[in-house]
Structure 1
Amino acid sequence: MTVPGITAPPATQARLLDLQRIDDELTRIAQHRRRLDQARDIAAAEGERVALRRTAADRRGELEDLRARIGRLEADVRTVEQRLDRDRSRLATSSSAKDVQGLEQEIASLRRRREALEDDQLTLMEQLESVEAAAQAVADQLGALEERIAALRTDREDALSGLTAQQTDAAERRVALAAELPADLVRFYDQQRTRYGIGAARLVGAVSEGSNMALTGADLAAVRGAPADAIVLDPESNCILVRS
């Protein structure tokens, strides 16, 4: 099918292929930018960071609880020690057999109480050491992850910066090329590209590179029979066919 009202010499039509190549380049750059903006590796790392931060908060809570319990045990041990010192002083000065017997029983009880408290304290200290090691491991993992996220973001920003430069260069080349072509031809090319995804493609033999399909006999005959300066369309992809 020919396009009424628009004509261009074959050499001018051929330059639409250069325009299409630039537009393909711009499309690839835009797609790459979208993939970088949606960077799954960064999103996954940030999700991992959320989980690690939650774990780190849990470890801190466990440490605070253990340290508080150890502090209470230390206070209880000091109280028992004070009572032992008091009872030993009283025992040293007592002359009553009954008082001596009572003090000795109380001192024995206090010693058993002190031993139990110290055993509990030792158990909690071992738990504290274990939780401190776990908390440090999480902190190390979190630090390494923060560094990886920062590196990923830097890489993404560098890549985006490079794509921006490529995009600017391609856009400038497109503007310059479009300015050298007939305005009505460029408008029609843009219209087809916007509607169908491709604006121009070569016809190689009987095959359209726009659809990668061979034209039927009737369509091929119509294309070959059209004037050299006529704008003809691929019946499958609706792009401008640039004839060799």
Structure 2
Amino acid sequence: MGLKAAPEDQALLLELQEFDTRLQQLDHRLRTLPELARLAELASAGESLRRAVAEQNGALEDAQAELGRVESDVTVVEARIARDRGRLEATSSVKDVQALEQELAALGRRRDELEEIELVVMEKVEELETALSSIRLQLEAHETEAAATTTARDGAAASIEQERAHIAADRATVSAKVPTDLLELYEKQRARYGVGASHLRAGVSSASGVALNATDLNVVRAAAPDDVLLCPDSSAVLVRTAESGL
């Protein structure tokens, strides 16, 4: 003997199905919030920016160390020049004068070379500092957007969860009115096929969107009002109402 349920109890399944459809839609909205996609993009971009900051900072530190070495070499050469000039002023030996003058000339050339290198390295340091500052500004703007997007995501999710809680409460109220065996069938079919109840309206099953053929319609017409039927296309509980066109 097939399952029996009063027509008004079967009609409650349509309300349940509407609630469940809305809950599924809300779950989909929650999973596909545009902020989630943007946050994923920002996370990837943030990693790239942080790597760029680290690489640029490393390059700057190397350039600064190089500048420090060149400046140290310049200091050493200038100290030697000062020393040799002092010795030159203090000596009366022609031989020492010649040697010191030659060394001073060599030291002067070396200082000129080092100063040219120093200028090049200083320009490199300035360029790297400018580039690093630019990347840091980009990262700061990126983090600001990420924070704002996170706030927007949380707000949208909270709104959806609130709506979901209201619908779930209404669903619980309705499901409590449905006979246990009928509710179990509804839940079973919904879990298996995705839809638990289908409204037969003007001969068309709302779950499948397909019109029942003549044979199936004859079966439905021959069934008692309290017979629980299944849609031949969607396998959902087929609910008959005054709109069914029977």
RMSD of equivalent CA atoms: 1.7
- SS of 1:168's equivalent? helix
Q: Is residue 208 of structure 1 aligned with residue 205 of structure 2?
A: yes
Q: Is residue 115 of structure 1 aligned with residue 89 of structure 2?
A: no
Using the TM superposition, give the Cα deviation of residue 103 of structure 1 relative to its aligned residue in structure 2, in angstroms.
1.4
Aligned equivalent of 1:227, options 219, 224, 240: 224
* Gapped regions of structure 1 (runs ≥ 5): none
TM-score w.r.t. length of structure 1: 0.93
Letter of the structure 1 residue corresponding to residue 121 of structure 2: L
* Gapped regions of structure 2 (runs ≥ 5): 242-246
- SS of 1:214's equivalent? coil
Aligned equivalent of 1:67, options 54, 64, 72: 64
Going by fraction, where is strand more abundant, 1 or 2? 1
- SS of 1:213's equivalent? coil
Letter of the structure 1 residue corresponding to residue 209 of structure 2: N
Using the TM superposition, give the Cα deviation of residue 147 of structure 1 relative to its aligned residue in structure 2, in angstroms.
1.3
Q: Deviations over 1:21-55 (max 9, x none)?
A: 00111111222223349923212211111111111
- SS of 2:208's equivalent? coil
Structure-2 separation of matches of 1:181 and 1:78 = 94
Aligned equivalent of 2:76, options 64, 74, 79: 79
TM-score w.r.t. length of structure 2: 0.92
Contact (CA 8 Å) 1:6, 1:184: kept in 2 or not?
A: no
Provide the identity percentage: 41
Aligned equivalent of 2:185, options 178, 185, 188: 188
Structure-1 separation of matches of 2:123 and 2:236 = 76
Structure-2 separation of matches of 1:7 and 1:17 = 14
- SS of 1:99's equivalent? helix
Number of residue equivalences: 241
1:1-244 alignment runs, 5 A limit: 4-9=2-7, 11-36=8-33, 39-244=36-241
Structure-2 separation of matches of 1:66 and 1:217 = 86
- SS of 2:200's equivalent? strand
Of the structure 1 ranges 132-141 and 30-39, higher mean CA displacement relative to structure 2 is found in: 30-39
Letter of the structure 2 residue corresponding to residue 190 of structure 1: E
